[in-house]
Amino acid sequence: MECLWLEDQKISVKNVPPPTPTKEEALIRLLLAGICRTDIEMLKGYRPFSGVPGHEFVGEVMHAPGDSSWEGKRVVGEINLSCGECTQCRKGRPNHCEIRTVLGIADRDGVFAESFTLPLANLHQVPLSVPDEAAVFTEPLAAACQILEQVRIRTTDVVLVIGAGKLGQLIARALHRTGCALQVAAKHARQKQLLADCGIAAIEPGQVSTGYADLVVEASGTPEGLDLARKAVRPQGTIVLKSTYSGAKDLDLSSWVVDEITLVGSRCGPFTPALRLLEKSLVDPIPLVEARYPLSKGDRAFEQAQKPGVLKVLLHP
């Protein structure tokens, strides 16, 4: 089968044997996959990885040896594969399993391939009314919904999202539903227009005031974005970190302590509410699609995805 292969910080197209599912797994035919910021950061050396990258997908179950009722169904899937037995798993934190593998990120081939495997326990069936172009956004939309699981947002809160890229757009749409006073720091005209189409206010990063926001979500994935978040948050406010990026960041933690800033790391989120938002058309991510490429042109797809202001780039077999 054809796949994209990441090795030594380079993307190439390869032909490899298709995987064979175990009794607990499904063999899934790729319909659409999305390139996200983490994929790009891995290309830059965010973490050691050699194999098939990619974790955002919608696919069709071709074969499920342990439960044939899944066969033929459209699915999306959670990316963390847990053991179910370690301390974190037993305490209800499987996404933090001590020996977990992560689809296309850590010790597990991902979805930028014609077919791939994933445990049945990780799968969610896609509602019939949700098109593939929307379903492929389930994983990042779930990550956006995770913020609502971690932080209480009141209608009186002033909230700033820094970054209006792929994830920032989804975060803004999810938080907008709380009725809070929401702004998004955005650089590019198309990003601002997409926000305006949803009734969300966009401001230039240079317009961000000092110490005014109750909650700041850093979704730019840049050190400059974190500096801007620290500037914007009020004393005793909260900063949510929603990005991964390669490299280190020096912080003057004294001011964080003095101002009693709460720092929240936020990663994967719940698929069920994300699918519900898509099914009820409460969030429409399809306007975020920038381009589509076949797997055979995956190198060009990654080049496109890394251009400033570009939103979601999709891959298909």
- CATH number for position 212: 3.40.50.720
Instruction: Using DSSP bridges, classify how beta strands 115-119 and 233-241 pair: parallel, antiparallel or unpaired.
Output: unpaired
Per the structure, the complete domain to which residue 114 belongs is given by 2-137+285-316
| 86 and 190 fall within a common domain | no
98 and 162 co-located in one domain: no
User: CATH no. for residue 14?
Assistant: 3.90.180.10
What pLDDT, on a 0 to 100 scale, did the predictor assign at position 246?
Answer: 62
Same domain (yes/no): 155, 133: no
Q: How many CB atoms lie within 10 A of CB 281?
A: 10
Q: How far is residue 277's CA from residue 134's CA, in Å, rounded to a whole number?
A: 11
Report the distance separating Cα 209 and Cα 234, nearest Å: 10
C-beta atoms surrounding 216 within 10 Å:
29
> Residue 178 corresponds to which tokens in the numbers above?
């709380």
* 71 touches 62 (CB < 8 A): yes
SS3 label, residue 159: strand
CA distance readout (Å), 183 to 157, 197, 243, 272, 308: 11, 14, 18, 26, 21
* Cα gap 79→74, rounded to integer Å: 16
The answer to whether position 279 is within a domain reads no
The answer to whether residue 65 is domain-embedded is yes
Angle between helices 138-150 and 271-279 (to 10 degrees): 120
CB 106 within 8 A of CB 267: no
Buried b (16+ CB within 10 A) or exposed e, 291-309: eebebeebeebbeebeeee
Res 287: pLDDT:
97
Residues 311, 229, 265: CA angle, nearest 5 degrees: 80
Q: Which conformational region is residue 80 in: left (phi greater than 0), alpha (psi within -120 to 50 degrees), or beta?
A: beta
Q: Do 91 and 150 lie in a common domain?
A: no
Report the C-alpha dihedral over residues 201, 205, 208, 211, rounded to 10 degrees.
Answer: 120
Question: E strand or H helix at 40, and its extent?
Answer: helix 37-43
Number of domains observed in the structure of the chain: 2
Do residues 46 and 134 lie in contact, with contact meaning Cβ atoms separated by under 8 Å?
Answer: no
Pairing state between β 74-77 and 56-63: antiparallel
Segment holding 31, helix H or strand E: strand 25-35
Burial tier of 34 (Cβ tally within 10 Å: 0-12, 13-18, 19+)? buried
What is the amino acid identity at position 305?
A
189 and 291 co-located in one domain: no
Helix axes 166-176, 189-197, angle to 10 degrees: 20
Q: What does the alpha-carbon distance between residue 135 and residue 32 come to, in Å, rounded to a whole number?
A: 9
111 and 189 belong to one structural domain = no
Nearest residue to 75 via CA among 55, 53, 57? 57
Residue 245 is predicted with a pLDDT of 64
46 and 90 in a common domain: yes
What pTM did the predictor assign? Answer: 0.95
The pLDDT, as a whole number, for residue 250 is: 81
193 falls within a domain: yes
Q: Which two structure tokens, joined as six digits, stand for 135?
A: 């379903």
The span from the CA of 142 to the CA of 316, in Å, is 22
Same-domain pairing of 128 and 159: no
Per-residue pLDDT of the chain (317 residues; tens, 9 = 90+): 999 999 999 999 999 999 999 999 999 999 999 999 899 989 988 888 999 999 999 999 999 999 999 999 999 999 999 999 999 999 999 999 999 999 999 999 999 999 999 999 999 999 999 999 999 999 999 999 999 999 999 999 999 999 999 999 999 999 999 999 999 999 999 999 999 999 999 999 999 999 999 999 999 988 899 999 999 999 999 999 998 766 677 888 999 999 999 999 999 999 999 999 999 999 999 999 999 999 999 999 999 999 999 999 999 99
